[in-house]
Chain A
Amino acid sequence: MEKMPKWADVVLIPLISLLLAAVLSALVILAIGEDPWAALKMMVQGALGSTYGWGYTLYYATNFIFTGLAVAVAFHARMFNIGGEGQAMLGGLGVALVCLYMPWPHWTVAVIGASVVGAAFGAAWAALPAWLQAKRGSHIVITTIMFNFIASALLNYVLVNVLRPKGSMDPATAKFPAATHLPTLHELLLPLGIKFSKAAPANVSLLIALAACVFVWLLIWRTRLGYEIRAFGHSESGAKYAGISAVKITVVAMLISGALAGLMSVNTTMGEAERLVLNATEGAGFIGIAVALMGRSHPFGVLLAAILFGFLYQGGAELALWTNIPREMIVVIQALVILFTGALDNMVRMPLEKLFLSLRRKEG
């Protein structure tokens, strides 16, 4: 017998956790002498009050959809891929190489090429930790953390010593050719007669992110591979007994996860910066953890959580601009969300389960 109705598990618990995180965040804002209500209003105004705000919110959300899906796919196989950051960095390298050294006739072709190579680079960066986990039992969390640092050193080396144009002091690649420019929402919506802010960086990669959500949903719940991944995640020994190869599932799930993280760089590197810079990922790989936890590893949940975090990011930037609340407040909120939806999940769950059980007993 289920202890709780499904809606409580899927909707009620995340909402309570989110509420707890919000209350604590409000207390922190109160403690540093600012008004939480005014701060919230400013965030809503800044992030959702104009197409400019929406453009930034959706731009950030695009990143978080990719990294959130990456973490979610690994979660389904009961693996914690903390290396989205490094995989996205390598994805950026792949995208940069493709954009700089391949002659692209039009962005439609370029975006396909860049996506494929970005995903391949991200997957490649996840491959070794996956293989080590599957074959040698090296803990994937530790190896992916290490690979984040190795990726950042590698990227640093490549940007400073190899890809940096002659005479430039900035550790970044040259600007990508104009043919690889991805249309922004402004350019996409103009033919439809919708006026969207010109300055905002949200671009066509948002559509790729939405497609990725559908792809992950199909993969996890509508394919044999997805079934095997979920079976493996529920019970490793059970899956083995059913003839599912642990090595195959571990490696394949991590490759998909890494590829999704790598895809993020199409948005940041090709869509926004149009060159590869040092800190292109800006911690989005880690936010993917919070997004996947909040979205309960379901693509639709990930989408909603990603938009929420996009809102927090853009709203937080506005706060830092107009009030004394520094940008790092977002990191605090992010930490509280991870804490309550992830680590302290049982704190909310246990009393609720008791409540539902006692309610049911009364009925019976």
Chain B
Amino acid sequence: MDYMTILQILDSTVRLAVPLLLACLAGLYSERAGIFDIGLEGKMLAAAFFSGAVAAVSGSAWLGLLAGMGASLVLSALHGLASITFRGNQLISGVAVNFLAAGMTVVVAQDWFKQGGRTPSLSGAARFEPITLPGAEALRDVPILGPLYAELISGHTSLVYIAFACVPLTWWALYRTRFGLRLRAVGENPAAVDTAGVSVVGLRYAAVAICGVLCGIAGAYLATALQAGFVKDMTAGRGYIALAALIFAKWRPWYALLATLLFGLLQAIALRYQNIDLGAITIPVQVMDALPYILTVVILAGFVGKAIPPRAGGEPYVKER
């Protein structure tokens, strides 16, 4: 395996890790505030469709992004209504959100575009184009570092850079601001936050809304940057892998980056090599597909460091009277 092959695999790792990273950070905000969210998949899917559809009609990828965020926010509001206002079961609500998105995207896509549940192919300004960072071409001939800069760091769409910027931003928001402190507190001990005179409901809705925005970007990235248009079920379980990454990362932003890059690498390898021949044994591609899930179960089992979720996660808050 030569240097260029490694760079290409890493490049595709970055591309595949971005939706996972965005969804993982989305889940992080929500779950840190005590709202379990297994509806990441559905929100991404809805965002992918509406961003693809609006981008196809308007010809603007940015308008598509807004539409995607809007769609995802609507589902977030639904999840908030069910799990915060009506104190329903958050897991069941998440399942409902996933099915609602899976069904509605195809029903609406068929009605609008009549192409068997997909949007028309996007091109030009309807897609996010790769950005060439300054000096990428000039530095390409520098040994080792030149191709690294030109291939791996430069040449991604703006959403990729936004996604990576979200990691330090999330860290800062969670650990260095008053909002972040309260957000984390509401996921651990909502009664204490309430006693301090801060609205538990307001904080949780805010967290769920941030989750919606990030899932919206993730979905828009899938339909208008990674691929050219929406196809049925295009999230293909990424929401669940993001959930796995979130547990793998133990609900922390920098670890989330590492976990999603690892899972992105697994996807990139599975995409490039069908079966990996290690001489004596061959690793079938299905092992690569299953590895994120297996790793997550191992982490959850607590054999390799224990993953402890936010303490008040999944429990609706009932104010004392």
Contact = CB atoms under 8 A, between A and B. Distances in A.
B256 to A, nearest CB: 16
B290 A154 contact: yes
Contact of B96 (A145, A147, A329, A335): A335
Contact of A150 (B81, B92, B106, B294): B294
B103 interface: yes
A334 B244 CA distance: 25
B95 A289 contact: yes
B60 interface: no
B104 A338 contact: no
Interface string B280-308: 00001011011001101100111000000
Interface string B74-103: 000010011100111111110111111011
B247 interface: yes
Nearest to A349: B86
A262 B99 CA distance: 23
Contact of B92 (A137, A332, A338): A338
Given A132-B297, A153-B290, A328-B107, A347 B99 contact: no
B103 A332 contact: yes
Contacts of A82: 91, 95
A322 interface: no
Contact of A328 (B81, B89, B95, B117): B117
B110 A326 contact: yes
A143 interface: yes
Given A145-B243, A328-B117, A338-B96, A343 B89 contact: yes
Contact of B301 (A138, A149, A324, A325): A138
A360 interface: no
A347 B104 CA distance: 23
Q: Is the interface of A mostly helix, strand, loop or mixed?
A: helix
A54 interface: no
B193 interface: no
B191 interface: no
Contacts of A156: 286, 289
B107 A326 contact: yes
Contact of A146 (B86, B97, B297): B297
Contact of B104 (A142, A332, A339, A345): A332
Interface in A272-306: 286, 289, 293
B290 to A, nearest CB: 4
B296 A343 contact: no
Contacts of B86: 343-347, 350
A33 B287 contact: no
B103 A342 contact: no
Contact of A142 (B100, B102, B296): B296
B100 A336 contact: yes
Contact of B244 (A31, A146, A325): A146
A156 B288 CA distance: 12
A42 interface: no
B304 to A, nearest CB: 12
A351 B97 CA distance: 24
Top 3 nearest A-B pairs by Cβ distance? A331-B103, A335-B99, A343-B93
Interface of A: 28, 31-33, 80, 82, 128, 132, 136-139, 141-143, 145-147, 149-150, 153-154, 156-157, 160-161, 286, 289, 293, 324-326, 328-336, 338-339, 342-347, 350
Interface of B: 38, 78, 81-83, 86-93, 95-100, 102-104, 106-108, 110-111, 117, 237, 240, 243-244, 247, 284, 286-287, 289-290, 293-294, 296-297, 300-302, 309
15 contacts: A82-B95, A141-B91, A145-B38, A145-B240, A145-B243, A147-B297, A149-B290, A150-B290, A286-B99, A328-B104, A328-B110, A335-B99, A335-B104, A338-B95, A338-B96
